[in-house]
A = this chain, B = another copy of it.
Amino acid sequence: MRIGELATRTGVSVRSLRYYEEQGLLASVRSSSGQRHYTDQEVERVTFIQRLYAAGLSSRTIAALLPCVDAPSKENSDAALERMALERERLSQHITDLLQTRDSLDAMIAGARRHRERV
C-alpha cells in the first residue's frame, strides 16, 4: 500500500509517517518513481510506535529499542535490554503517578458534587 492508505489505516498523518522514516523508526520500499510502499506489517508497527510515543518515549529512545524487536541478537539485546528495563521502570512510575492524579481528580469531583447538592 502507499503512504496515504497507511495513514488512514493507522490514523497517523502522512507527515508523521514520513517523519518516522526520517527518524529511522519506519522503513519503506520505494518504487522506481520514488513513492513509498508498505506491507500490512507496517500497520501494526505504526500503531506500536504510536503507543511508545504515548508512553512518553522520544524518537531517539524508540529508535534505540526497535531494532531489538525486529531482530533480537547478541549485539543489540545486551544494551537494549537494559534500556528497555529502564524505560519500563519509568513507565511504571509514571502510571503510578497518574493513578494518584486520578484519585486527586476523583476527590475534586466528589467535592464539587457534594457542594452542589448541599446548595
* Chain A residues at the B interface, C-beta cutoff of 8 Å: 48, 51-52, 54-55, 65, 68-69, 72-74, 77-78, 80-81, 84-85, 87-88, 91-92, 94-95, 97-102, 104-106, 108-109, 111-113, 115-116, 119
In the assembly, how many copies of this chain are there? 2
**B98/A95 in contact, CB under 8 A:** yes
CB distance from A67 to the nearest CB of B (A): 11
Q: Across the interface, which residues of B come within 8 angstroms of A97, CB to CB? A: 51, 54-55
Q: Across the interface, which residues of B come within 8 angstroms of A95, CB to CB? A: 95, 98-99, 102
Cα distance, A79 to B106, chains bound together (Å):
16
CB distance from A104 to the nearest CB of B (A): 7
CB distance from A110 to the nearest CB of B (A): 10
Cα distance, A69 to B88, chains bound together (Å):
33
Q: Across the interface, which residues of B come within 8 angstroms of A119, CB to CB? A: 74
Cα distance, A107 to B84, chains bound together (Å):
11
Q: Across the interface, which residues of B come within 8 angstroms of A106, CB to CB? A: 88
